[in-house]
Structure formats: structure tokens, C-alpha cells
Amino acid sequence: MSSDAGPGSETGRAGGAEASDIDRETKAERIRELLATEGDAVAANTRGFNEGRYESTGRLDGYEALKAEARSIKEDAIERLPELIDEVRETVEANGGTVYLADDAADANRYVREVAAERDAERAVKSKSMTSEEIEVNDALAADGVEVVETDLGEWVLQLADEEPSHIVAPAIHKSREGIAALFAERFDPDDPPETAEELTMFARERLGDLIEDADLGMTGANFIAADSGTMLLVTSEGNARKTVTATDTHVAVAGVEKLVPTVEEFSPFVELIGRSGTGQDVTSYISTLTPPVDSPVPDFEDDETPLAADPDGAASDREFHLVLIDNGRLAMRDDETLKETLYCIRCSACSNACGNFQSVGGHAFGGETYSGGIATGWEAGIEGLDTAAEFNDLCTGCSRCVPACPVGIDIPWINTAVRDRINRGEADPSQLDWAFEELVPDEEPGGLDLATRLVGNYATLAKLGHETAPVANRLANAGPLRALAERVVGIDRRRDLPEFARESLVDWFEARGGPAVSETEATREAVVYPDTATNYVDVERGKATVRALEALGVRVRVPDLPGSGRPPLSQGMVATAEAAAEDVYAGLAPHLDAGRDVVVIEPSDLATFRREYERFLPSESYERLADASYDVMEYVFGLLESGADPAALRAPSEGTGPVASGKRIAYHPHCQARTVEVGEYATAVFERLGYDVRVSETECCGMAGSFGYKTDYYELSMDVGEPLREQFGDTDRTVVAPGTSCTEQLDALLDSSPRHPIEVIAPRE
Amino acid sequence: MPAGERTIMALADASTFTGRLDELGVAVSAGPPAECAAMIDAAAGEPAVGVPLARSGPDAFADSPATLPDRVGTDPATADLREAHTGVTAASLGVAEYGSVALEADAAGTEPVTLFVDRHVVVLRERDIVPDMPDAFDWLGPRARDESVDVVFATGPSATADMGGLVHGAHGPKEVHVVLLRDGDAADDASGPGDEPEVDR
């Protein structure tokens, strides 16, 4: 598959706006097309799954403990993988089966073809397996004249339609019922064409039932395999995997080596988590735990008068079992610190369903050769290579809503960031391990890195420049010809409003007014308000509101000049630049931490960077110190009120007039990353404490996600991701609040209202 | 565990179990083993095939008064399976928190009889209900290692949402009916202590 991100094309990209212009158009067109054709079906299904996940995991006692247990089983299993491969070979062979460890897809297919040839197989029936899609075994068998029939209803529909899965668990979610009915009518021309879901299902059940009866070979995947017994676990709902195994005398299971766990007992947490995390089912209809060859008699559908159980002692001996374990890049991923975590993935699809972009376009845009959704970047980079990952990797905006959804706690946004960094650097060889922690100065991002990436990545510098030249910069920035140029060269969509830079920064304002206003003796606490780039240079009012609110609650506040957090470069995969920013921020804050001051953060994405990514950039002691001392501003206010501060010092709903005070009723969209670091609920709590009535948005991410929605390729997608927010808050008479700067831009575009930061609503007036 | 405490725990599990089955749309009949055949007769459609309970479930069924009604044909051929509306088998274990039943594949054909039919009537002893999933896998582990068992934990009917709406009976049974055999009456206890399932409750 071709890609523009390969090392060879770097010079071409950096050199000409023409080339990237064309790429952008193609990508944008593809996304537009998918939004129009498949978007509605994908959105309805994935959002349903996602709501189901919240409900089902909410019912589960000890959910977080189970996730931790599942994570630790996977860590242990991947650590001991070579040993487990040896063990499972012994146990499967002792059971009478065969194990083949295939180096790659071709090796696996060669083995499966040999098995089929030995058994003179004319037809293979197959239950759903992503690994078998990865190796494209259907094509390999078809080349030998073996007919392969997919028996999962969704996979069968795709096989008939000659389409690719759009979702790793529910492969045909992009197909509507009407589309399937039309497909069946066209392919089979039945007398009484099935139309309802029930009729379509029964039609498929009968057709596939006949095909299964005459099949010679049964192929399955495996969700987990226990090395101690050779037991494989299959998670299904339809019963097709059961029929596939039972009705055929030769069972071939194809599974990645990472599916091994040490013992049968360790299946348990995964069984409890996988359905809940994926489609929101507490457990799927069938959890098959097979220790093949299975003990069932092989039904003879031709001689149908002989009792099934004619030979009670010899039933199992008629059966053959082949376990084909696939490496195909996995053992190399195990040695790659960034990609290794991917091997913990249990393919539940939670990261797809929780993802705003995925909900809008599905796996046909947000996916590679086989895998889709956030974790696909890890799989595709490890199995296919960086070029494939590069085709869709920037659809991960880093909103991080997949992080709490992942049942094995994979930091999926980080894998996307780190792979993006490799793509930026044109690294084709993922075995170079130290790349992330090299002592690289920020200015040494690779020369071929495209201009859009660098501009966004250096937003802190740009914002400072913009503020210093504010009157001119603001006028120029929104001038037509310049916007056209920005769109063509840098890819910033001209339908977006650009941030207007303030003439006086928050830091300058604070210094000009004379520094801290609460004396050391009066102060209940001392805090540093972190002047994030957006607050300091663009939205200074929310910074001033923060200072007023904290001072009203008796906090001695300082606003020192501090560098940007590194969030913008991080979003562009500029890891070395972000790491340097982390070190600078920590250096600037260290004297304040030494003095026992709290760090109050207004922009949620910056707080999330302190609490999540800085763990990778700073020495652990420094990281923990900063993470422990830093607070979201609404979290901080909540804490002050809980510790006895007087809520009367803040603005209650009844006071004053004007658009803000007119409403006791608030519509609140918590920032995606704030929810991931679990500070999203404090604003609600504070509002309610002060007597406001709050309605909280149910949307995972507004769709702007930092710089994502500014990009021309993604403007329509970004607006589509925000659509549920428009539906929920579109005609509300409530005062809309949102703490994230980019959320504010998006809500402005979606609702045509200018939301404020929650602190601006509750801070006392100037 | 003292006998009294154990009974209370078992009752709690049975109540959780039947509550979950209700949510899953699975019908339940409960009664003493002596009424097993009558309960199956009422639950099974026509024609019905089955596997004798002692051959598809715990060994203890061999000494239990629980049996299949005469109209359920045993030792079916594939033609009988094709014709059958209902399949009747025993389950080895129930999982209270999930409403799951453990179906063991065997030479007698339990797996096809539970699978190639429209309705599955499954007979489970109340004493074989364990509280939760970890208990089920503690039960399975030694049996998988020592006996290479093949067990399906089945929860409700076969289902799919691939055709634009939730439909039961995608490939497997459209309906499930659980016949729950209550412990505690003299006839069942007479089968002796040796038949306790190896489950740590």
C-alpha cells in the first residue's frame, strides 16, 4: 500500500505545497465520503456500545481491581512468552494436537494449506478471527481451490459484499439493515426476500447451516490460550464457532503468540471484562473453553441415520487439531518498549467505541490493513510497518478517552504519539529503542517534518509572538488572502476562527497590578497559577477570574512567567520538544514546590500533561512531586470549600445581571483529558454547592481536540464529532461552560455561543 | 463451612442465578429431582432429543431420581438432530452472577444436542451453582489440565446484532429453559456425600 510518509518522500513533502495539497484533498474527500455513506450506521452502533460499556462496567463490583489483575496477567505473560510457547507446545501435543509457530503470514498460510491438502478439504468454514484476516488465509486457501466460508453473520455479509471489516468486534457495523437486505436480494434472488433483522438472520442461519454441514475444515481464532493445559478460549455470541468446531473433523486455530496466558484460572478476569468493555454485554452468549481435539463425536450429515454417539470411546480420536501460533512481528514488538504494550490488547474494541473520531468515520478511515481504532497504530506499526500506521495515525487526537476504557490499561494515546514521532523522523526501523529519551534539543526536530506539524508544535512560541504584535497579528491572521495561504501551505481550515492574541498577557497584568494581593499572614494557602499558553496570551480573562476566585477564598496567589507545558508538540508527535518543555516547566516550578506552594492549572490539557505524560519525561520523584502538587482550578476550589472556605465569597446564581448571572442553569462540557485524569466532576460539584443547576454533556470529546479541528483535512470530521454536543446543547437556554480552550472554539462553532471557563462564572466580579 | 451457613449461601446463589436468568429472558422451572421428567416434559417442544443426564452432566445423576421423560429420544442420529425442536442435556455448573451454565462436550453428543436445536432445555442441580466467574475457572482449571475437558459457558440464547437489530437464534438455540433441581429433599441427599462437586464455595 502506498504512503506519503515513507522516509523516501520526506524531501518532496517539505519542498512543495502542491504535493501535500493533493494528499490533503484525497484524505479529506475519503473522510467526507465515509461520513456520508457509513457515518450514521457507525455512529449509532459505536455510541450504543460505548454507553453499554459504561452501564455494564458500572454494575461490576471491583471493576478497577479486575482491570489491574488483567493488566498484570498480560505483563507477566508477555514477559514469559518464549517459555509459554514451549509449554503450550507440550500440553497441546500431550492432548493429541499439533502446534506450529509461524514466523510470518506466508509461513502460517503455507502450513494451513498443507493441512487442508492432507485432509483433501474442499470447503473450510471459519469463525470470526482478526488474526486470520491479518494473514489473509482465505486468499491463500482459495488459491488452492479451497472454498472458505465466513460463518459469523457480519463477516459473511462482508464476504458477500467483498468489503473490509469496519470494526474489530462488529465487522459490519457500517452496513444498514436495508443494505444487507439489498445485498441478499441481489446475490440469492430469493422468492420471498428477507427484510427484517429476524428474517435476515434466519435466512443467513439456514444458508450457513447447510454450508457448515458439508465442510471439511473448521477454522477459528482464539481470544486466549492457557499454556498449562492447551485450553483455548473463544468469546462469541452467535454459536458459529461452536458449530465450526463441532461439525468438522479438522480444527485449525490461528492465534497471535500474545494470546497465551499461563493458566486456565487466569482466563477469569478477561471473561468478566471483555464483553463489558467491548459491546457492553456483561458476558457474551458463549464462552467456549476448548482443550482440543474436542470430545464431541463428529456428526456425519450424509449418513444421517447412524446415532451420533455410536462410538463413545473413540469420538475424540477422529479429530485433528492444529494450533497455528503467529509471530508476524510480535516477538520484535515485545522488545520494543513503546509497541510492547500493544501485545496486552485483548481486542475488545473499547478504544474504538470511546473514540470521537472513530464514532464518526469507523475503521475504514481509522484503521490500517487489518486493525482499527486507537490501538491499531500499535498493531499496524508492529505488523505492517510505519508506512501503514502513518496512513491513519493522525486520527488519534490524544483526547485520551480510550485510556480509562481499556481493560488492560494500555496508554493508547502515548503509542500514537510515539509512533507519530517515528513517522516524523522517517524512522523505518522500530528496533531503535532510545529515540524517545535522547538528549535532543527541541530545535532538532527532523528537517523534513512538515510545516503544519512544526507550527502547531511550536504554538507556545507563536502565541508569544502573536501577543507581542497583537494588533497587527490579529488583523493579519484573519485577513482573507493570508487565510487562503495558511490553508494551502499549512492546512489550517479557513472556516475556523483563529485565536485572537491579547495585548497584555496574564503574567504582565499580574505584575502590573502589584503581584500577590493576599498577605502571607492572612493566607490560608499559597498557590501558583500556571499561565498556560492559551490563558496567558489569548484568554486572559479566565486567568484573571482564577486569581480573583482564589484570592477571595484566602489563597496567596502568584503568576510567575513559565514556559508552555509541551502539550502542542506532544500532539504532533514531537516528543523530544515536549520532553524539553517538561524539564523547563519543572525547573520553573521547583522553587515554588520547595516553598510548599500548590500549582493551579486552568487549561485541562496542561494538567493532564503534568499528571500523565510527564511521568515519561521527568525523574519519578520530580514527576510525583509536581503531579501531587498540581490541581485543576475547579478541583482546587472544591478542595478549598471542603476545607471550610466560605462559598459566599464566590458568585452565586442569583447575583447580578447579564448573560452569565442571568442563568442559574448551566450546560457543562467537561474536557476529555480532564475526565481521564478524573477532575471533570469538580466543576459540577462546585456549581451545585453554589446553587446552580448543571447539565453535563455526555459526549466523550468535542471533536476539536487541540489543533485537530483546525486542519483542513479534518474540519468536516471534527464538526461531525461535535454533532452530539449540538444535539444536546444546541437550543439550550443554559449558560454553556467548558474549561478547554479548543472545546470553547468548537462549541462556539457548533452552538454559536461563546462558552466560558467555569471559573469565570463563579469568580467574584472585578 | 457449617452445614447451615452453607445452605444459606447456596440459597443466595440460587436466587442470584434465577434473577439473572430472568433478565436474560431464560425461563426457569425449579423443583425436586423426582419432578425432573415432568418439568422437562412441560418445557420441551416437539420433537425433542436428549442425552441421558448421567452421561452429559455430573456423575451424581446416575443415582438421582432425575430422568428424562420418555418422549425425549436419546442417542439421536444427525437426522433426528435436524428434525428436533428441543435438545435436553444436563449442565455441570451454574454461575450465579452471570446466569451462565457450563455445558461439557462429550462422546454422548451433549455439544451438538445443545447447539443444533431451536430450544435448549438444560438441567442443573442447585448445588452445582457457584457464586461467580473466578469460582467457575477454579473449577475448570484442574479439569482442563487433568481431563482435557471442553466446556462452553452458555449465557442465554444464541444472539446476533449483525443484521440491523438484536435477534436470538443466530446459529444456536433461540430459547433456553433451565430446569433447576432443588437440593435438600431426602431422595436427592440419599445419593450420598461422595457426589459433591469439587467446588470450593
Answer yes or no: are the C-beta atoms of B181 and B66 closer than 8 Å.
yes
Q: How confident is the model at residue A443 (pLDDT cuts 50, 70, 90)?
A: very low
Residue B3 has pLDDT above 90, yes or no: no
Domains assigned to chain B = 3-184 (3.40.50.10420)
Q: Give the pLDDT mean for A16-21.
A: 46
3-state SS class at A716: helix
Distance CA A755, CA A736 (A): 5
Grid-cell match 473450510, residue found: A124
Mean per-residue pLDDT of chain A: 89
Distance CA A93, CA A98 (A): 6
Q: How confident is the model at residue A310 (pLDDT cuts 50, 70, 90)?
A: low
3-state SS class at A237: coil
Q: For residue A147, what are the β-bridge partners?
A: A123
Supply the DSSP string of A607-640, one letter for each residue. HHIIIIIHHHHS-HHHHHHHHHHEEEHHHHHHHH
Q: How confident is the model at residue A476 (pLDDT cuts 50, 70, 90)?
A: low
Q: For residue A693, what are the β-bridge partners?
A: A665
What is the model's pLDDT at position A655?
55
Query: In the structure grid, which three cell numbers stand for residue A336, read together?
Result: 520494543
What is the model's pLDDT at position A316?
47
Supply the DSSP string of B65-129, one letter for each residue. S----TTEEES-BHHHHHH-SEEEEE-SEEETTTTEEEEE--TT-HHHHHHSSSEEEEEEEGGGE
Q: Would you call A153 and B136 a contact, using CB atoms and an 8 Å cutoff?
A: no
Query: Using CB atoms within 10 A of its CB, is residue A508 exposed (0-12), middle (13-18) or buried (19+)?
Result: middle
More confident residue, A211 or A313: A211
Q: What is the pLDDT of residues B72-107, one digit of tens each?
A: 999 999 999 999 999 999 999 999 999 999 999 999
Give backbone dihedrals phi and psi of A36, rounded to 5 degrees, phi first.
-75, -40
What is the model's pLDDT at position A431?
37
Q: What is the CA radius of gyration of chain B?
A: 16
- Provide the percentage of residues in chain A whose pLDDT is more than 70: 89
Q: Residues of B with CB below 8 A from A230's CB?
A: 148
What is the model's pLDDT at position B194?
39
What is the model's pLDDT at position A445?
60
More confident residue, A25 or A278: A278
Q: Would you call B100 and A301 a contact, using CB atoms and an 8 Å cutoff?
A: no
What is the model's pLDDT at position A11?
35
Q: Give the pLDDT mean for A70-96.
A: 98
What is the amino acid identity at position A467? H
Domains assigned to chain A = 7-49+356-437 (no CATH), 80-299+310-328 (3.40.50.10420), 506-762 (no CATH)
What is the model's pLDDT at position B196?
41
Q: Which secondary structure element, helix H or strand E, spans residue B191, and what is its range? A: none
Which of B167, B171, B175, B199 would you mutate first to test chain A, the one with the most A CBs within 10 A?
B171
What is the model's pLDDT at position B193?
40
Q: What is the pLDDT of residues B22-35, one digit of tens each?
A: 999 999 999 999 99
Answer yes or no: are the C-beta atoms of A260 and A77 closer than 8 Å.
yes
Residue B62 has pLDDT above 90, yes or no: no
Size of interface A-B (CB pairs under 8 A): 205
Residue A4 has pLDDT above 90, yes or no: no
More confident residue, A226 or A465: A226
Distance CA A544, CA A564 (A): 18
What is the model's pLDDT at position A427?
56
Distance of CA A351 to the CA centre of its chain: 4
Q: Give the pLDDT mean for A447-469.
A: 70
Answer yes or no: are the C-beta atoms of A309 and B109 closer than 8 Å.
yes
Q: Would you call A308 and B98 a contact, using CB atoms and an 8 Å cutoff?
A: no
Answer yes or no: are the C-beta atoms of B101 and A225 closer than 8 Å.
no
What is the model's pLDDT at position A432?
35
What is the model's pLDDT at position B147?
96
Residues 6+ apart with CB under 8 A from A395: A357, A358, A361, A365, A366
Residue A382: closest CA among A325, A338, A347, A413: A338
Answer yes or no: are the C-beta atoms of B113 and B87 closer than 8 Å.
yes
Distance CA A286, CA A592 (A): 57
What is the model's pLDDT at position A135?
97
B145/chain A closest Cα distance in angstroms: 5
Residue A436 has pLDDT above 70, yes or no: no
Q: Residues of A with CB below 8 A from B78's CB?
A: 299-301, 303-304, 308
The number of residues in chain B equals: 201
Distance CA B133, CA A69 (A): 14
Q: What is the pLDDT of residues A146-164, one digit of tens each?
A: 999 999 999 999 999 999 9
3-state SS class at A124: strand
More confident residue, A260 or A313: A260
B154/chain A closest Cα distance in angstroms: 5
Q: What is the pLDDT of residues B145-158, one digit of tens each?
A: 999 999 999 999 99
What is the model's pLDDT at position B198?
35
What is the model's pLDDT at position A377?
98
Q: Would you call A297 and B107 a contact, using CB atoms and an 8 Å cutoff?
A: yes
Q: Among the listed ranges A222-231, A462-471, B20-29, which one has the minimum average pLDDT value?
A: A462-471
Q: What is the pLDDT of residues A364-385, one digit of tens each?
A: 999 999 999 999 999 999 999 9
Query: Using CB atoms within 10 A of its CB, is residue A61 exposed (0-12), middle (13-18) or buried (19+)?
Result: exposed
Query: In whole angstroms, how far apart are CA A22 and each of A4, A297, A420, A426, A483?
Result: 11, 60, 21, 20, 18
More confident residue, A428 or A555: A555
Which of A286, A294, A298, A353 would you mutate first to test chain B, the one with the most B CBs within 10 A?
A286
Q: Give the pLDDT mean for A7-20.
A: 38
Query: In the structure grid, which three cell numbers stand for residue A620, read together?
Result: 519519578
Q: Give the pLDDT mean for A24-49.
A: 90
Mean per-residue pLDDT of chain B: 89
Query: In the structure grid, which three cell numbers stand for residue A692, read together?
Result: 446552580
Helix axes A540-552, A633-642, angle to 10 degrees: 10
Distance CA A403, CA A354 (A): 9
Distance of CA A139 to the CA centre of its chain: 30
- Provide the percentage of residues in chain A whose pLDDT is more than 90: 75
Query: In whole angstroms, how far apart are CA A185 and each of A41, A173, A191, A202, A520?
Result: 21, 19, 9, 14, 80
**Residue A149 neighbours by CB distance under 10 Å:** 20
Residues 6+ apart with CB under 8 A from A642: none
**Residue A475 neighbours by CB distance under 10 Å:** 11
Distance CA A684, CA A282 (A): 30
Q: What is the pLDDT of residues A695-732, one digit of tens each?
A: 999 888 898 877 788 888 898 999 999 999 999 988 88
Grid-cell match 469507523, residue found: A362
More confident residue, B163 or A590: A590
What is the amino acid identity at position A633? V
Residue A494: closest CA among A173, A710, A330, A741: A710
3-state helix, strand, coil in chain A (%, to 5): 55, 10, 35
Residue A201 has pLDDT above 60, yes or no: yes
B153/chain A closest Cα distance in angstroms: 5
Residue A489 has pLDDT above 70, yes or no: no
What is the model's pLDDT at position A656?
52
3-state SS class at A523: coil
Q: Would you call A201 and B144 a contact, using CB atoms and an 8 Å cutoff?
A: no
Q: Would you call B78 and A309 a contact, using CB atoms and an 8 Å cutoff?
A: no
Q: Give the pLDDT mean for A733-738.
A: 91
Query: In whole angstroms, how far apart are CA A196 and each of A8, A232, B67, B162?
Result: 52, 35, 40, 12
Instruction: Name the residue in chain A with its Cα closest to that of B151.
Output: A289
Kindly provide the ipTM of the predicted complex, given to two decimals. 0.92
What is the model's pLDDT at position B60?
86
The C-alpha angle A296, A298, A302, rounded to 5 degrees, equals 150
Q: Give the pLDDT mean for A102-114.
A: 98
Answer yes or no: are the C-beta atoms of A231 and A149 closer than 8 Å.
no
